[in-house]
Amino acid sequence: MLGVILLGLFAVLLVACSDKAEEEAIEPEVTEDGKTVITIAYKDDGPSSEASVKYYDALEAALKEHRDLDVEFNIVEIAQGDYAEKLNLLLYSGEIPDLIYFQGSDEQIAAQGLLEDLTPYIKDSEYLKDILYEHNATRLDNYPYLLWVKPINHKVPVVRTDFLEQLTTSESLLADPTVENYQAFFKELVDKGLSEYGITVAGDIAELDFIFNRAFGVTSTWLEDGTGGYVYKKVSDAEKEKLAFYAELYAGGLLDNQYLTKQWDVKEDDFYNNKAGVIVGTNGKVIDLYNTRTKAVNGDSAELTVLPSAAGVSSGYAATSVTKEPRGLAISSQSPNKGIAFEILDFLASPEGMELDLLGYEGEHYKIENGEVVLTDKFYSEWFSRFWEPQTVTLDTPLSSETPLLSPPGQASTDAVVDTYVADNDFTIPEEYISQWDAMENLYKEFAADIITGKVSIDEFDAFVEEWYGAGGEDITKLANETVK
């Protein structure tokens, strides 16, 4: 019933906004000194944030200097709490910003025609079309309303380099990262007293899956069943083998026995304090932060090494969903400033735009020395790119090799994920199946936890599969076999 009410509200909102756009299309909002007002809604940004105001002031100045574009940003204050929920309340009210950052709940908005199709804009762009990752292009083909030019957001395992150098199993693991070699590596970490357990994760096995899924043959969301059809990965024979392996790690004290209740901050502290030999973190900036903190606690010799994904049936950190961007920037279809809004996004992909968005403020986050950009400690401790992070960075002034955007481990983690990229074959679950799907996923999580912790024998896997199909799996699997190409 709530969904029907919301769709009704959206329909009313669409008509109201369309009428308003027709009235304002010729006369967009302009300040007294002739600047076009661009309203933007962005998570964690607002007029009450000094850092946000400073950034958008700097962006205004850069747009004026390099593009002769006179704009004034009106930063929307989003109420604290669940961002997607609070953003939707703003949109329900009829206030539709020109530029909108979504982190969920965008599909209902797009379905009502309130988001602009970005395809023609990107095709005609000067810079953006050249910095897209492969997964960006595929996601835009499937869902052309959100843009998020960032590396794939995957997880990779890392270990202290000084630990790696003390283990006899390291060479075998790096040369041939089989499941067996990973297990031997974890065991030697513990046996030599370098850590209490081999690896820690927070709350569930999702982080482990980035390492081991593809090695066991869990290579996509829907696996070929040998008869020309598809079976869901979590009820497959490959999943059964993987869970049995995790249970073995747990029983041997190699997987943190407190992983089910462990919070992310405790997980990280356990790694810094050498309770865990291996930690899994998001590639890029997060691995960068792990590296900085680990060296601060344990010395420079503790610099991190990125470990390869396990190899077996296949290899690679994870298949990447390409149904749509899970987050990103959108342009309102009702905006009278659509062209200017996209011009801003394109500028941020230019050398001049990257200078601000990637590097921060000259004299604060970087200096120019001997014709090169030298990043400061403040850059590494506080700066982040609000918009794009292309794989190849083009700047008018070259970046010093002594101060790269990412530390060697941070860059290695991103390179490893990009190099092992493969598209998933998942699809968006229709709304009428969502409650069933959630129940099925919860059933799996409970069963997987019981298997790994030894409460239930792996021999009960077939009973779980039968229960999963009875809880809605039959309908979802039928849909998948009609949908997956």
Those residues with Cβ within 8 angstroms of residue 382's Cβ, 6 or more apart along the chain or in another chain: 365
Beta-bridged to residue 331, according to DSSP, are: 99
- Of the candidates 133, 126, 161, the one whose C-alpha atom is nearest the C-alpha of residue 147 is 133
* Confidence bin at 6 (pLDDT 50/70/90): very low
pLDDT of 381-413, one tens digit each?
Answer: 789 899 999 988 999 999 999 999 999 999 999
pLDDT in tens, 58-112: 999 999 999 999 999 999 999 889 999 999 999 988 889 999 999 989 998 999 9
The letter for the amino acid at 125 is: S
In a 13 Å sphere around the CA of 267, the CA atoms on its Cβ side amount to 23
Of the candidates 355, 353, 345, the one whose C-alpha atom is nearest the C-alpha of residue 405 is 355
Distance of alpha carbon 58 from alpha carbon 220, whole angstroms: 43
Is 357 in a helix, a strand, or coil? Answer: helix
d(CA 374, CA 379): 10
Contact 290, 279 (CB under 8 A): yes
Question: What pLDDT, in 10s, does the model give residues 197-250?
Answer: 999 999 999 999 999 999 999 999 999 999 999 999 999 999 999 999 999 999
Instruction: Give the residue from 256, 142, 137 showing the smallest Cα distance to 204.
Output: 256
**Cα–Cα dist 448/458, whole Å:** 9
Domains of the chain (ranges; CATH) run 9-150+324-397 (3.40.190.10), 155-319+426-483 (3.40.190.10)
